[in-house]
Every structure is written in C-alpha cells, then in structure tokens.
Amino acid sequence: MSKLDELRAIKEEVINISGELADTRRKENYFPVIGEGSHDASIMFVGEAPGENEAKRGRPFVGRAGKFLDELLQFISIPRESVYITNIVKDRPPKNRDPLPEEIALYAPFLVKQIEIIKPKIVATLGRFSMTYVMNRYGLDWELGPISNLHGKVFESPNGFKVVPLYHPAAAIYNQHLKPELFEDFKILKTLI
C-alpha cells in the first residue's frame, strides 16, 4: 500500500469510530481532523485536539493557535506544506476541554500509525498532553518532567527519531512571556532537519 492509501485507511477508521467525541462530531456536522502536510515530512508536529475552527474545516491548526504556528514556521523559513501537522485526539472535545485519558487512549493508535507511515526524523510535540503521550510511548518516560524544563530539548527516542517538546502555541497566546521561548525553540528545530 502507498503512504497515501495507508493514511486514507486511517481516515476511514477515524470517520467510523464510536465514542462521545465522534457522536458530537456527527451531531454538530463537524469533521474529524486527521492531519495534513507532506507524507515525507522530516518534522511532524503533534498538537492536542482540534478546536472549533479545526473541526468545522477538518484541518489542524487553522484558528488562532494555527496562525501563530504559521508565524513560527515562517520565522525559521520552513514551509507549512513541507511538515506534517496532526493531533493526538482527532475529534473536538466539547468547549475545548482537556482530552480525557480514555480519549487519548482511543485516538493515540492513529498517531502511532501516522508516525510509522511518515517516518519523521523529528516529532515536535505541542503542549504537555502530546509531550507526555509521545515520551511515554517512545521510550522516554524516564526523561519526563514539567514542560517548563523540557521544552526546546532534543531527546533521541530508541524508535529512531528525535522528540522535541515545545510549548503549545495557544499557551503562548495566553501567556505572552512564552512567545520568545517558542521562537528560540523553533530555531533549534531548524538545526535538526
């Protein structure tokens, strides 16, 4: 199967999944947000879950946090189309609440498959939910700590890629002091590709 076919198969599975978030998606006529970008990307960004703008359009990071992510990518001259952008949870949690552990458990296998298919060199996590999941899943649990200590550090996963925890762009919109840190951390990403 080609990468495209494998990624399409993931999309079909997510479309048909059961659960509260998927029920809400069907009721509200939202879309699942599978991910987008280059299927040969060196960098995969992993956010938390779609917000309202994303669920209305079926695309990741197209609202306010997405505008800031675009700005950060522009800052290091990396075209958005050359990376892959996804989330752990593929359906919108109501009122943008934090994803529940069982929701992460339900949707994370799709992220794992996306990583297997795309084989990025770098998995850049956005926010503490994706940081925690990815580091636990990929042999870096012993390195876990608060995101304020780990952001911008580069971890070698035994699975053959680097993991770089980053603050979530939405966090930097609410806490302006995080913005310069995100810009600095993006410079590190640039040195890794």
61 contacts ligand URA (rule: CB under 6 A): yes
**DSSP letters spanning 113-160:** HHHHHH--SEEEEESHHHHHHHHHHTT-GGG---HHHHTT--EE-TTS
| 114 is a site residue for ligand URA (CB under 6 A) | no
CB of 2 to ligand URA, least distance (A): 25
By CB under 6 A, tell whether 47 contacts ligand URA: yes
Query: In angstroms, rounded to a whole number, what is the distance separating the alpha carbons of residues 168 and 181?
Result: 11
Answer yes or no whether residue 65 interacts with ligand URA by CB under 6 A. yes
Q: Which of 54, 91, 103, 185 binds ligand URA (CB under 6 A)?
A: 54
Q: Which stretch binds ligand URA (CB under 6 A): 9-17, 41-49, 155-163, 175-183?
A: 41-49
49 near ligand URA, rule: CB under 6 A:
yes
Mention every residue, 6+ apart, whose C-beta is less than 8 A from residue 154.
162, 163, 164, 188, 192
Q: Does residue 51 touch ligand URA according to CB under 6 A?
A: yes
Residue among 6, 86, 84 at smallest CA distance from 39: 84
Which chain residues interact with ligand URA by CB under 6 A?
33, 47-51, 54, 60-61, 65, 87, 170
